């Protein structure tokens, strides 16, 4: 049990959690020692997704507003970073942060309808934004139109001053991404555990009471959107460099929904859950389900079932089916997602008496 307020607002609730997080970070840092290089494309993708889902969770889990337009902020981040570097010659780090702020500005603008709209109507407004933004990008030459644009070399230094430190391999990018992700996660944790986060949750729990406590509802509702969009922008900036070359195509509605699935599967309003959800769904989508027909026997079985009863095109749609099923199962059996599963396991362990004699004495 948490004993006082300062243990609660501290970065980690207790020593064991701090050790757990430290262990997890060490594990992530040590990965390049024993994991083959080709895995790091997937890991980098996971990290980009983790960042955006953590941000989405500040909005969805914090203030309870559901956004179907996060792919739009993601696109702004990706395009913003690359264009700021290419056209204005801004070094990578400032370009990334600047793109994050541009996304945050758009988040603020999209958040304005949130003052009037609630629930599904708000989601539809964000949906419209997400759809519009890719169309705009696709029709403007400077953005590369439908063909897309090429990301410049990822240079951490300032090329104009002759300082250059180019990250070329996926492993090198992984280090950078990991640092960014850790900073963003720590930031999210701080936001959610202090005054601002409490206000977000208060607004979600009761609009009226939050208002009469003196919380400025319009300011906080738009702030939540802006913060969430900032995370999406940063994630998008990294995502652009994972792909290297991209066009507006991947930033579609399905991507927005996939982000939501990641957030829900991980568990709304839990940062650890967001990490787990984003990593799991990314792994399923880009690795396991993509290559499922290569699994001996099982893959062949699925392919033959598909060809016999459904389509002769093979299994390329199976990820939508599996993600849909996972979503349904999660909502029915564990609405708080992977985080809820973890809490349950923890509960069982804690309730199991370790020493029956001692338990008897008490």
Residues forming contacts to another protein in the complex (CB under 8 A) are 1-2, 5, 8, 115, 195, 198-199, 201-202, 204-206, 208-218, 269
CB of 354 to another protein, least distance (A): 23
What tokens appear for 159 in the block?
Answer: 């090329």
Which residues face 167 on adjacent strands? Answer: 154
The span from the CA of 354 to the CA of 350, in Å, is 9
- Cα–Cα distance measured from residue 228 to residue 250, given in angstroms and rounded to the nearest whole number: 20
Report the SS3 class of residue 12: coil
For residue 357 the two structure tokens come to 């004699």
Tell me whether residue 205 or residue 249 sits nearer to another protein (CB atom).
205
The Cα 40–Cα 31 span in angstroms is: 9
The least CB distance from residue 57 to another protein, in Å, is 14
DSSP state of 107: H
Kindly tell me which of 2 and 135 has the beta carbon lying closer to another protein. 2
Terminal Cα-to-Cα distance of the chain (whole angstroms): 18
Q: Across-strand partners of 149?
A: 246
- Which lies closer to another protein via its Cβ, residue 57 or residue 199? 199
Number of C-beta neighbours around residue 52 at 10 A: 31
Q: Which is nearer to another protein, 103 or 192 (CB)?
A: 192
What does 141-205 look like in DSSP terms, one character per residue?
Answer: GGGTTTT-EEPPPEE-S-GGGT---EE-SHHHHHHHHHHHHHHHHHHHHHHHHSHHHHHHHHHHH
Q: Pick from 284, 322, 319: which is nearest to 45 by CA?
A: 284
Is residue 200 a contact partner of residue 173, using CB atoms and an 8 Å limit? no
Q: How far is the CB of 202 from another protein (least distance, A)?
A: 5
Cβ-based nearer residue to another protein, 63 or 256: 63
- Collapsing DSSP to helix, strand or coil, 86 comes out as helix
User: Between 201 and 290, whose beta carbon lies closer to another protein?
Assistant: 201
Tell me how far, at minimum, the Cβ of 199 lies from another protein, in Å.
7
SS3 content of the chain, % helix, strand, coil (to 5): 75, 0, 20
Shortest reach from residue 216's CB to another protein, in Å: 5
Taking the least distance from each CB to another protein, the nearer of 6 and 348 is 6
Q: How far is the CB of 82 from another protein (least distance, A)?
A: 40
Q: How far is the CB of 125 from another protein (least distance, A)?
A: 17
Q: Closer CB to another protein, residue 116 or residue 146?
A: 116
Find where tokens 């009469």 sit. Answer: 212
Instruction: Report the nearest approach of another protein to the CB of residue 11 (Å).
Output: 17
Cβ of residue 3: shortest distance to another protein, in angstroms? 9
202 or 326: CB nearest another protein: 202
Residue carrying structure tokens 């095109």: 313
Question: CA-CA distance, 337 to 262, in Å (whole number)?
Answer: 10
């Amino acid at each position: 049990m948490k004993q006082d307020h300062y243990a609660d607002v501290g970065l980690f609730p207790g020593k064991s959690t701090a050790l757990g997080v430290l262990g997890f970070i060490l594990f992530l840092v040590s990965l390049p020692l024993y994991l083959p290089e080709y895995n790091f494309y997937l890991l980098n993708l996971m990290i980009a997704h983790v960042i955006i889902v953590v941000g989405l969770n500040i909005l969805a889990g914090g203030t309870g507003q559901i956004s179907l337009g996060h792919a739009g902020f993601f696109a702004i981040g990706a395009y913003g970073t690359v264009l700021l570097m290419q056209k204005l010659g801004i070094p990578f780090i400032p370009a990334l942060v600047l793109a994050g702020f541009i996304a945050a500005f758009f988040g603020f603008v999209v958040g304005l309808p949130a003052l009037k709209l609630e629930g599904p109507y708000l989601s539809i407004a964000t949906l419209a934004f997400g759809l519009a933004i890719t169309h705009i990008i696709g029709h403007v030459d400077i953005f590369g139109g439908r063909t897309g644009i090429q990301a410049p070399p990822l240079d951490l230094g300032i090329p104009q001053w002759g300082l250059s430190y180019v990250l070329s391999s996926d492993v090198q990018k992984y280090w950078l991404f990991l640092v960014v992700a850790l900073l963003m996660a720590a930031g999210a944790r701080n936001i959610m555990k202090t005054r601002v986060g409490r206000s977000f949750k208060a607004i979600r729990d009761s609009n009226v009471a939050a208002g009469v406590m003196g919380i400025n509802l319009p300011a906080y509702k738009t702030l939540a959107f802006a913060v969430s969009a900032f995370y999406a922008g940063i994630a998008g900036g990294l995502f652009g460099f994972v792909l290297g070359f991209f066009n507006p195509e991947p930033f579609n509605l399905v991507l927005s929904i996939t982000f939501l699935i990641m957030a829900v599967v991980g568990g709304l309003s839990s940062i650890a859950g967001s990490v787990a959800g984003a990593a799991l769904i990314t792994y399923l989508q880009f690795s396991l389900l993509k290559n499922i027909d290569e699994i001996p026997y099982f893959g062949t079985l699925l392919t033959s079932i598909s060809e016999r009863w459904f389509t002769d095109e093979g299994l390329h749609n199976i990820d939508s089916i599996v993600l849909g099923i996972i979503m349904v199962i999660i909502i029915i059996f564990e609405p708080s997602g992977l985080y809820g599963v973890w809490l349950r396991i923890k509960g069982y362990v804690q309730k199991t008496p370790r020493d029956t004699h001692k338990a008897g004495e008490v």
